[in-house]
Amino acid sequence: MSDRYDLPAELTVTRDGPVRIVTLNRPEQLNTIDERLHRALADVWRRLSADREAAAVVLTGAGRAFSAGGDLEWISSFLDDPVARDESLREGAQIIEELLRFPLPLITAVNGPAVGLGCSVAVLSDIVLISDRAFLADPHVSVGLVAGDGGAAFWPLLTPILRSREYLYTGDRIPAQLAVELGLASRMVTADELLSSALELAHRLARQPAQALRDTKRVAGMHLAQALSGAMQAGFAAERQTMMSAEHRRRVLALRKGAGAN
């Protein structure tokens, strides 16, 4: 099925009747997002929209993580390559915009850690089922960045902001049950039942009247899209500025050195 979508091996699409299962597929790297996976995440939603046989989508990660965030080697390359840095920001904006206007019901099965952009992609789904072994985190600030493609822009629309600011400012992990309480996930499911629960729900939605479901999603999504328009532009602009900061360089290089030592 992935061949039909013309995607790299880092992102696969498989068929389960009218349901499409999109899988982040770098399990040995905990599905960290590198250049190829980032580009695929920007492209896949439009291709799914054009699949006339698809009625619902499940998004998940291969292996024990949903996505551990950005690939450190790729992020490090931005320090001295402004062209690659700006392209990553353009694609990041495209990922968010495509998710906001994606017409099919999208269920994310968060099977493990969902960090950074991985967290953003997960919580922008229509329904977020989270494993009892998973957690969410947005550590942008901890590496000297504004969370332009993440929590700073849209957590205030989804959560009680006085409760979530601590996690946004510190980058600390949000355990599964707390993610549900904060409104960043729909419900917690045992790890063994996560994917089957997501697929069962996706098939139920696929049986709903298609036009009524799509238009209901479109109308409900208008509130988020309209509220995010200014915040996303400001967020990406601020993130770009911090990507050029000495503090970000220092922290990324320290993380890279620490990863190499391990």
In a domain, 189, yes or no: yes
Q: What is the pLDDT of residue 70?
A: 93
In a domain, 254, yes or no: no
Q: What is the pLDDT of residues 202-219, one digit of tens each?
A: 999 999 999 999 999 999
Q: Which helix (H) or strand (E) holds 175?
A: strand 174-175
User: What percent of the chain is modeled with pLDDT above 70?
Assistant: 97
Averaged over 15-28, what is the pLDDT?
A: 98
Which residues span the domain enclosing 49?
Answer: 2-210
| Non-local CB neighbours of 261 within 8 Å, separated by 6+ positions | none
Count the domains in the chain.
1
In a domain, 225, yes or no: no
Confidence class of residue 226 from pLDDT cuts 50, 70 and 90?
A: confident
Altogether, the residues listed in the chain come to a count of 262
Distance CA 55, CA 164 (A): 33
What CATH number corresponds to the domain at position 43?
3.90.226.10
Predicted TM-score (pTM) of the model is 0.94
Q: Which helix (H) or strand (E) holds 115?
A: strand 114-115
pLDDT at 246 exceeding the cut of 90: yes
Q: What is the pLDDT of residue 3?
A: 46
pLDDT at 6 exceeding the cut of 80: yes
| Non-local CB neighbours of 148 within 8 Å, separated by 6+ positions | 89, 92, 140, 232, 234, 235, 236, 237, 238, 239, 240
Between 261 and 61, residue with greater pLDDT: 61
pLDDT at 148 exceeding the cut of 90: no
In a domain, 34, yes or no: yes
Lowest mean pLDDT among 43-57, 120-134, 216-230: 216-230
In a domain, 184, yes or no: yes
In a domain, 258, yes or no: no
| DSSP-assigned beta bridge partners for residue 16 | 19
| Whether 71 contacts 29, CB under 8 Å | yes
In a domain, 257, yes or no: no
Q: What is the pLDDT of residue 261?
A: 59
In a domain, 42, yes or no: yes
Q: What average pLDDT is seen over the chain? A: 93
Q: What is the pLDDT of residue 1?
A: 46
Q: Which of 140, 89, 149, 138 is nearest to 115 (CA)?
A: 138
Averaged over 214-227, what is the pLDDT?
A: 88
Q: What is the pLDDT of residues 31-88, one digit of tens each?
A: 999 999 999 999 999 999 999 999 999 999 999 999 999 999 999 999 999 999 999 9
